[in-house]
Amino acid sequence: MSHPPIIGIDLGTTNSCAAVVQGDGEVKLIPYKGGDYTIPSVFAIDEKGNELIGSEAKRQWQLNPKNTVYGAKRLVGRSFRSEIAETMKRVVGYGLRAGQRNDVVIDVGHKEFSMQEISARILRKIREVATAYLKLPIERAVVTVPAYFNDRQRQTVKAAGKLADLEVVRIINEPTAAALAYAAGKSLRETVVVYDLGGGTFDVSVIEIRERVFEVKATGGDIFLGGMDFDNAVIQHVLKDFKSKTQIDITTDPVAMQRIRDLAERTKCDLSSREQVAFNIPFITMTQQGQPLNLEMPFSRKQLEELTSDLVDRTLKMVARVLVDCGVSTKDVGEVLLVGGQTRMPVVQERLTRFFGKPPSKGVNPDEAVAIGAALYAHSLQDDTNLKLQLLDVIPMAIGLERAGGAFHVVFPRNAAIPNAKQLTATTSYDQQSELAMRIFQGDHGEVAKNELLGDFTFSGIRPGRAGQVQVEITFDVNVEGILTMHARDPDTGREMKTTVRVTSS
């Protein structure tokens, strides 16, 4: 009896999607409801205390904005005091507060949830849908993450899988997965740029495809730039316009705000195929005299482009940086692949056409490519496969230690190939020292304080001796998933340290 297949899951900020390679080698998207292949990444608790996930949660969002969680992927592995949490507090209808580990927790329906619990609910739903569709117990998956996710965020996704009774066999980067989908069944030798602008995150990767070998040359991104920010530009414009006409501030009315959020997203999508639409919401609020007020204004594609031009600029600056990082010029690029729903915006395609001197490829479906690539890779990991794919990836930002005085000592530079291992030798700094403590950070800033703390490590059981006389060899090991493990040994005694440390959020 062969094992149930390993499925591929694209765990997205706004929508998630799953796919599987079936016995005949064909990739199938796993249908969700009524022919839809994407599951909204939305979790809610209704007034009766029922947990809702996906479409059911999205449907009741307008009436229950305080207990409906969306965009949670932006907060995965983030500390509560980060500017990302600050920004999210201003734009979402649900309440955020600090958890015990300085992470973000959300209060929904009088219960407290961590980010990994929310992600686990969505993963569990995908697992149930896949199990029902394939009529096989699905227990293993390859899950994708933004290339720009740091170690802590990758760890959180693995932990969410565990909570959902799903073994995350491998974590791979979304742009790499899209390149796998693009190259499937073709014998290619070319360099592609994957431009991935999704609901909550932006990634760009330069990938060299050599038949079944996919080598990432460089990657970059912004995990706080995506479709939600384009929606938000529309929302802020509408609120300002309404206030100037009526002197009424509706930001404190959660239901009115949710109606505006919904229409902002719809308007943005409609403007991809039309030049102008009406932005109308009847009975949005009341005047002081108790008269109902409607919100009515025209909205043009040109207006949307003006409101969001700085967001598009930010993506193109990142594209330029990544090309410089790997020494690839625009004319070396065979194809530009578009991934993520926000790439349907005409101005994004126009700007990329100008940048690269040719239009982007229509070779992959922007909503489905990542799940398809994840499924192809999942299939290549199975015992009975004849499809062997090799991924050579990189870490998105430097990993290093805190030096005395707050400088950042880089162990692995940005875009270092993975898997990768480095060894450092540390010496004791005072007599009879029995422990060695260090703090590990990830980021691209020369000052430690501006990077993300991955964790504090204490290696204990050091042989006592005079200061500077005792050495410890520390090995840093980044695996194929971009996750860091560390261990230490005393070269004089050959003794391995008592602790093998996995990076965890402190």
- Where in the chain are the domains? 7-225+313-393, 395-502
DSSP letter at 330?
A: G
Dihedral sign from CA coordinates of 379, 382, 383, 384: negative
The H-or-E segment that residue 500 falls in is strand 495-502
pLDDT tens readout for residues 2-60: 678 999 999 999 999 999 998 778 899 999 877 789 999 999 999 899 999 999 999 99
Q: Is the model more confident about 108 or about 81?
A: 108
Count other C-beta atoms under 10 Å from residue 448's C-beta: 19
10 is catalytic: yes
The whole-number average pLDDT for the span 394-414 is: 89
pLDDT tens readout for residues 311-333: 999 999 999 999 999 999 999 99
pLDDT tens readout for residues 338-371: 999 999 999 999 999 999 999 999 889 999 999 9
pLDDT of residue 505: 42
Looking at 10, 103, 215, 368, which residue is catalytic? 10
Q: If we measure between CA atoms, which residue out of 409, 396, 407 comes closest to residue 478?
A: 396
pLDDT confidence tier of residue 429, bands split at 50, 70 and 90: confident
Q: Is the model more confident about 139 or about 35?
A: 139
pLDDT confidence tier of residue 169, bands split at 50, 70 and 90: very high
CATH superfamily of domain region 395-502: Substrate Binding Domain Of DNAk; Chain A, domain 1 (2.60.34.10)
73 is catalytic: yes
7-225+313-393 and 395-502 share one CATH topology?
no
Q: If we measure between CA atoms, which residue out of 321, 335, 12, 330 comes closest to residue 194?
A: 335
pLDDT of residue 497: 63
Tokens 């979402």 -> residue: 92
Lowest pLDDT segment from 294-298, 422-426, 466-470: 466-470
pLDDT tens readout for residues 437-449: 888 899 988 888 8
46 is catalytic: no
User: What's the fold here for domain 7-225+313-393?
Assistant: Nucleotidyltransferase; domain 5 (3.30.420)
Looking at 103, 151, 196, 265, which residue is catalytic? 196
Can you name the residues that pair with 222 across neighbouring β-strands?
202
Amino acid identity for residue 258 in this structure: Q
Looking at 103, 151, 174, 265, which residue is catalytic? 174
367 is catalytic: no
pLDDT of residue 454: 84
pLDDT tens readout for residues 258-291: 899 999 999 999 999 999 999 999 999 988 888 8
According to DSSP, the β-strands at 213-222 and 202-210 are: antiparallel
Looking at 58, 73, 217, 268, which residue is catalytic? 73
